Structure formats: structure tokens, C-alpha cells
Amino acid sequence: MSYKVLLISDYSVREAKGESNFRVLENCGCELKVVQDMVGYSFDQVDEYFRRMETSGADSIKENPDVVAAMEDADIVITAFSAIPSNGIRKAKHLKAICVMRSGAENVNLDVANEYGVKVLNAPGRLAVPVSEYTVGLILAEVKNIARTHAHVIVGDYKDREYVNDSYCFNICGKNVGIIGCGAVGSRVARVLKAMDANILVYDPYASAEKMEALGYRLVDLNTLCRESDIITIHFRLTPETKGMIGEEQFKLMKPTCYLINTARADIVDEKAMIDAIVNRKIGGAGLDVFHQEPLPADYPLFNLPNVTLSNHRAGFCSDIFDITSKITIDEIRHYCETGELIHTVN
């Protein structure tokens, strides 16, 4: 069966010259149409657009009338960062699916999609490789003082220095690494650190105890993980259940030499409790790529501390991320054309 596929070409699609990736869908009988969005936007405008959409939803974005008009005859809509106008869903005559080329689906008002019987799909696992590799790098940067050493060398301070964590600047080998969330990203981090001879502890209510045991990991409850880990790294999605799950109680359980790493979502951790734990050395240190407010305010209390490594929400970046993501979406649509089955639905 042939489907009309609408690709919304936003800033990210144009930057990657990615429209051509989707021409392959024409080989399986699809009719591809492209509509432009975010035309003339600067990087800062795109950043502001995306942050507003993530925090306030798709309907907080002013609808693009060209997108609404193009959706009217579409069977399938593909978007990367563009918000899908709810008005477009309402006016679409035979829309069956919206494919979001991200791990989340903040681009779409799911209530409206459900009301009109439209399935929303994401691209799970698209960031598994870059985020897992970045996480391991951030762990090593913090534990081994790599970023701090670099900062001193570039200003000509080449002498051997004392660092606040000299007494626990340890090797990964033989240490307990707690993985909070052993999905696509967490499982890759676990495999890499297991290869470095770490002991892997996992907290994940959805993980199979038999599978974890077969991999040589130990499935534990959250408080046990916090109590026993030398490094804790977070890889859950943000949901009502995971919001604030690492709070004052968990920080009290952590070793004073424990490192907390977060490349997932800031709101999984209670910010006040985390800042208190880092500033007052209740834990050994932290490596953070996500924050409750981005960009960070000038008076952010973790700036210039000797026991924290900060990066600017960069874990998911790699030069070929668009090709990785578009392949996941293309494979999904191909499968749908062949079988009528949608796999990665979020509603």
C-alpha cells in the first residue's frame, strides 16, 4: 500500500542536508512531500524554541500554517524538532502516524493525537551510543581529574597539583558502579565499565533479575545502590515516577567518596539536595551534563567548585546523529508499509 509521507524540514534537517535520506521511502511506494519550518531561525532562536516546547508542550509554539496545510492530505508525518500543530492533527483527513525523530515526543500534544486516533512514534535508542560513550568519558574526567588538569595546564600551571579528591582518585577496576536505569543507554555504559572490571549494580524496576545475573550484574533496590556504589550514573527517562527520585534520603546513604553522574534529565535529581551534597562534600563529586535551568545562571552555585565537572547538555551530540536517527524512522515506516504494524508507539 502506498502512503503520503510528509517530512517537516526544520533547522536540524537542513543543517544535516537530511532531506535526501528520506527519498529511499519512494522505493517502497511512498509519496514524499517536504515542507519547510523554522526558516531563517538562528541557533539561539532554535534553542529557545526547543526549550519552550520541552517545558510547555507543542501547543506553546505558534503554528506554522504551511505545516497545517501540508498535513491535511498526509498519512504519515515526520518531524525532528518542529512542533506538530494540534490544529494540523484536527484538520488532517487520514493521518495515521506522526514519527518524532527523538527519544521523547514533546513535539506532539498526545491528548489531541489520541482523540483523533493518531499514533505517535519516537526513535528509541538513537542516542544510546553517543550518550553512553559521553557518560563514560564524564566519569573518567571527574574521577581522574582530566578536565581540571587541562584547565591548569592551559594557563601554564604545569606543576603536579593536589586535588580535593586525591585520596579517592581511584581506578574503575574493582569499584562498584551503580546504573540507575539499564535501558538502551544504561546497558551500554554497564558493558563498557564491566569490561574495565567494575562491579555493576543495577536499579531498574523493569529489568529481569535473570538477565542481569546472566550479564554478571547485581539487581538491587535504589537505596542499596546508593549505599554501596562508588560511582552512580543515571539513565532513566523523566516521568512522574522518576522525578526527584534521587533526593535528600538517597544522598544521605551515599559514600562521602561517591561520584554522581547525570547525562539523563536534571529533574530526576532533587536540585537542592544535590547542591547541598556537592557543596558540603557529602559526596565525592559529580559530573553533570543536564541542569534544572539551561543555560545556567551566572550565580549557579556549582561553578568553580573543585569536585564537579560541568558540560553543556552535549552528551547526545555526534556528527552522524541525524543519519542514525533517520535510519530508525525510515526502518519504522518501511516496516509499516510492509506489515501495517507500528512498533515504537508512545500512545
Provide the pLDDT for residue 273: 98
Q: For the purposes of burial, counting CB atoms within 10 Å of the CB of 97, is it exposed (0-12), middle (13-18) or buried (19 or more)?
A: buried
Which pLDDT tens digit goes with each residue over 272-329? 999 999 999 999 999 999 999 988 999 999 998 999 999 999 998 888 889 999 999 9
Classify burial at 120, counting beta carbons within 10 Å of its beta carbon; exposed 0-12, middle 13-18, buried 19 or more: buried
94 in active site: no
Q: For the sheet containing 31-36, what is the strand order?
A: 31-36, 4-9, 76-79, 97-100, 119-121
Q: How many CB atoms lie within 10 A of CB 319?
A: 8
| Residue (of 13, 96, 106) closest to 326 by Cα position | 13
pLDDT of residue 54: 84
CATH architecture of 4-123+320-339: 3-Layer(aba) Sandwich (3.40)
Continuous segment of H or E residues that includes residue 5: strand 4-9
pTM: 0.82
Ranges in the chain, pLDDT < 70 = 1, 150-161
15, 72, 213, 294: the catalytic one is: 294
Are 4-123+320-339 and 128-310 in the same CATH fold? yes
Name the catalytic one among 265, 271, 332, 341: 265
Q: Would you state the pLDDT for residue 34?
A: 96
For helices 128-143 and 146-153, give the axis angle rounded to 10 degrees.
70
pLDDT at 157: 63
Catalytic site residue from 313, 314, 335, 344: 313
CATH number of the domain located at residue range(s) 128-310 in this protein: 3.40.50.720
Any catalytic annotation for residue 23? no
Predicted local confidence at residue 151, as pLDDT: 59
- Cα–Cα dist 152/94, whole Å: 61
- What's residue 147's pLDDT? 84
Residues contacting residue 241 through CB under 8 Å, at least 6 positions apart:
none
- Say which residues have a Cβ less than 8 Å from residue 50's Cβ, sequence separation at least 6: 81
The pLDDT score that the predictor gives to residue 294 is 86
Is 227 designated active site? Answer: no
Give pLDDT tens digits for 229-269. Answer: 999 999 998 888 999 999 999 999 999 999 999 999 999 99
Helix %, strand %, coil % for the chain, to 5?
40, 15, 45
**Domain boundaries in the chain?**
4-123+320-339, 128-310
